[in-house]
């Protein structure tokens, strides 16, 4: 789809703020009017569309915030319980709980970067998680899993859209919640989620395919962090 509009704008409504393309309300793939709770987020979404070059093909890479908003409106509102479950299940196999056995430098790097995040999660949510050496599955405390699920469920539909994406990309619910709470920046989240690969790159170098994949992960993490920040105090229900 090529750019078909000239101007973008934001309009306040009773329900929030909607994005206009040439004066007409933008709609999601499910044909719902795209309305978000904060003007900051609406302006950022309008900015994505405004930044698309004239006569350019509009791709998903141009519109990460739009995609998160549309997913929240189209999918999360209809399948909220399933999205909560799909996000919260990462508490049972969080990346941060599975540690290398060697070499010692990697073991220490994981401990120094990952353990403070687990300690933060334990304190913030009352959800201590068990750490294991190697990749053998470890059963996490039921109360901790329930507490982290409650933390997920506390988010609004739109925030859940971004939280799920962050969790899936990072392979860690703890990292995603840390971003949502402002405990980690997007770049810090990337460093934590990609720690093992970054360690190998330091030793052996990075090939072009890996570099492209890492660039995509960085973009997606940054989009999720920005989206949650733009939601401001609308992140949590109530």
Per-residue pLDDT tens for 63-82?
Answer: 999 999 999 999 999 999 99
Per-residue pLDDT, averaged over 186-190, amounts to 98
Q: How far, in Å, CA of 73 to CA of 208, rounded?
A: 36
> Helices then strands (H, E): number in the chain?
10, 6
Average pLDDT of the residues in 212-227 = 95
DSSP at 143: H
How far is the C-alpha of 55 from the C-alpha of 57, rounded, in Å? 7
pLDDT at 238 over 50: no
Average pLDDT over residues 31-35: 95
Domains, the chain, in order of start with CATH, read 8-76 (3.30.2180.10), 80-234 (1.10.3580.10)
Question: What would the mean pLDDT of 207-232 be, rounded to a whole number?
Answer: 93
pLDDT for residue 167:
98
Compute the distance between CA of residue 75 and CA of residue 6 in angstroms, rounded to an integer.
29
* Structural contact between residues 228 and 211, judged by C-beta atoms closer than 8 angstroms: no
- What is d(CA 25, CA 34) in angstroms, rounded to the nearest whole number? 7
- Kindly report the backbone phi and psi dihedral angles of residue 98, in degrees, each rounded to the nearest multiple of 5, phi listed first: -115, 110
pTM over 0.75: yes
Span 135-146, pLDDT tens digits: 899 999 999 999
Calpha distance 52→126 (Å, rounded): 44
Tokens of 182: 């402002």
Tokens of 70: 């549309």
């Amino acid at each position: 789809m090529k750019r078909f509009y000239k101007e973008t704008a934001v309009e306040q409504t009773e329900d929030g703020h909607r994005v206009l393309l040439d004066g007409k309300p933008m709609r999601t793939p499910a044909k719902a009017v795209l309305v978000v709770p904060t003007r900051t987020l609406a302006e950022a979404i309008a900015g994505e569309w405004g930044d698309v070059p004239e006569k350019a093909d509009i791709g998903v890479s141009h519109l990460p915030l739009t995609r998160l908003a549309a997913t929240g409106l189209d999918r999360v509102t209809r399948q909220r319980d399933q999205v909560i479950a799909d996000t919260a299940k990462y508490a049972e196999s969080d990346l941060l709980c599975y540690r290398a056995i060697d070499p010692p430098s990697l073991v220490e790097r994981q401990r120094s970067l990952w353990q403070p995040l687990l300690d933060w999660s334990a304190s913030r949510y009352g959800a201590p998680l068990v750490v294991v050496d190697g990749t053998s599955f470890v059963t996490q405390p039921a109360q901790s899993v329930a507490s982290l699920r409650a933390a997920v469920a506390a988010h609004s539909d739109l925030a859940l859209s971004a939280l799920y994406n962050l969790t899936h990309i990072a392979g860690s619910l703890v990292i995603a919640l840390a971003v949502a709470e402002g405990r980690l920046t997007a770049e810090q989240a990337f460093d934590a989620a990609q720690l093992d690969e970054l360690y190998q790159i330091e030793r052996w170098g990075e090939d072009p395919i890996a570099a492209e994949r890492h660039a995509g992960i960085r973009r997606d993490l940054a989009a999720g962090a920005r989206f949650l920040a733009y939601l401001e105090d609308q992140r949590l229900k109530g």
